[in-house]
Every structure is written in structure tokens, then in C-alpha cells.
Amino acid sequence: MARWLATLALIAAVLWSYGTLRGRRRPGASRAAKPVQILYLRPFDTDEGVEYKTKRFGGIPVADPDAMRTFDEEICDAFHSFGRITALVPRNADPVPIGPDKVVFTPEGDDWHVFIETALGQARLVVLVLGRSASMLWELQTALRVVNRAQLLLVAPPGGIQTVWGQVSPVLTAAGWNIAPTPGCRLIVHGADGPHEFSGPTPYHDALGAVGRALTQGD
């Protein structure tokens, strides 16, 4: 039994190390905010987006074989059918997201505001993970202003919608997105009759019909 538990612990350690090393690979940076098909933005004040889901077996955390994807990968896999995904990442971010087709490092200093606003205005679809930092609230406010509301998808962070709702709600209300999401909300999409929430085990795939209609309207 002791040898078996030690083997499980070793496997868990190897899988954790593999995920960490994968997340630390740094793709090449682009110097210009070129138009993209899908723009992916998320908070970088947490590592939750690049961590693997685990389950406990005999008191030992083991990587769940049914959930061997990071938060970033889960989102990107769902929306890849609509085009190439470009993630905007702070230059000092480490590790970077796993899943996007391309990572673009934002400029340092005050230039990042103009860079991100330009990218938001040119993107065909914007997938934004909600956050409560000042920079993420600014990105949300800017996206609500410059992006077609039907082509903006708001994703709940790994910790759940309630962890950010106190900061996010006033920004959404000011922009006319009136919604009171349930604790299980994982995605908010604005349809013709207002914002709707999606929940459940595969909320991103459930929303693909709404995304497809939004992209058709953008043609």
C-alpha cells in the first residue's frame, strides 16, 4: 500500500511539473495590434487559468484524467471553430496562457491602453474573463464601449462569478447590461433581447449558437 501511494504521489508531481513547464513556454511577441479573429483577455493577477484541475485519491491530489485541460484551454477549445484565437498578455506575465493560437505581449507604460482599445475595436469576437483589478475593469468598460455587444462574451473566472460581481456589476449596469446571474453562471452573452447567462458542465459549447449568429451579423 505504501509503495502504491508513493507511486501515485510521484505521478501527481510529474503531471504538476509538466503543466507548470508547459505554461512557462513563451511564444513570440507581436509588435503591432493587428486585427484578429478572436481576442482573448483574462486577469493575470492569478495563476488559476494555467493550473490543472485535480481530484483527491486516498488523500493525495492527483490530476483528474477527465479534466486534463487548463481553464484557458477549455475556453480556447470551445471557440477555435470560429477562427484563430489571440491572447493579449502583459509583458511580465509568467506563465502565459496555454490554448490560444497566438500570444501578443502588450506594451509597457501608458501605451497599453491605446493598444488594447485598438485591438478590441478590430476584433471579430472578444472573449473576456471577468476580473476585479483596476486594469480588468478598464478593459471591461472599454470593451462595452467599442465592441458590438453581440460579439462580446463575458466569462466567469475559475473562482466563480460571485468573486468578481461586486466590482463588475456597476460597470455592466452603466452600459445597459442588466442581469443578476446565478452562482452557477459561467458565461454571459448579450442577445437581441438582452444579456443571458449560460451554466452547466459545457457552457461555452452551449453558447456557440449565439456566437455564430453574432458573427454572421458582423459580416
Dihedrals phi, psi of 174, to nearest 5 degrees: -65, -25
Q: Are 91 and 117 in contact (CB under 8 A)?
A: no
Supply the pLDDT for residue 5: 38
Report the alpha-carbon distance of residue 80 to residue 72 in Å, rounded: 12
C-alpha cell at 191: 442577445
CA atoms within 13 A on the CB side of 30: 15
Query: What average pLDDT does the segment 100-120 reach?
Result: 88
Question: What is the four-CA torsion angle of 216, 188, 40, 122, rounded to 10 degrees?
Answer: 40
- Burial zone of 129 (CB within 10 Å; 0-12 exposed, 13-18 middle, 19+ buried): buried
Which cell numbers hold the place of 196?
443571458
| CA–CA distance, 126 with 49 (Å, rounded to integer) | 17
Q: How confident is the model at residue 62 (pLDDT cuts 50, 70, 90)?
A: low
CA-based angle 176:120:122, to the nearest 5? Answer: 120
Say if residue 50's pLDDT is above 70.
no
DSSP strand pairing (187-191 vs 194-198): antiparallel
Mean of all residue pLDDT scores within the chain = 74
* Three-state secondary-structure class, residue 84: coil
Q: For residue 86, is pLDDT > 80? A: yes
Residues 6+ apart with CB under 8 A from 114: none
Which of 124, 120, 80 is CA-nearest to residue 102?
A: 80
Lowest-confidence region among 13-22, 68-77, 166-175: 13-22
Specify the DSSP element, H or E, that contains 20. Answer: helix 2-23
Which single residue is written with the C-alpha cell 462580446? 152
Residue holding cell 500500500?
A: 1
Give the pLDDT confidence score for residue 36 in this predicted structure: 64
For residue 2, pLDDT over 60 is answered with no
- Beta-strand ranges (E) seen in the chain are 38-41, 54-57, 60-63, 85-89, 102-105, 125-129, 152-155, 187-191, 194-198
Spatial separation of the C-alpha atoms in residues 60 and 96, rounded to whole Å: 27
What kind of fold does domain 33-52+69-217 have according to CATH? Rossmann fold (3.40.50)
Domain boundaries, the chain: 33-52+69-217
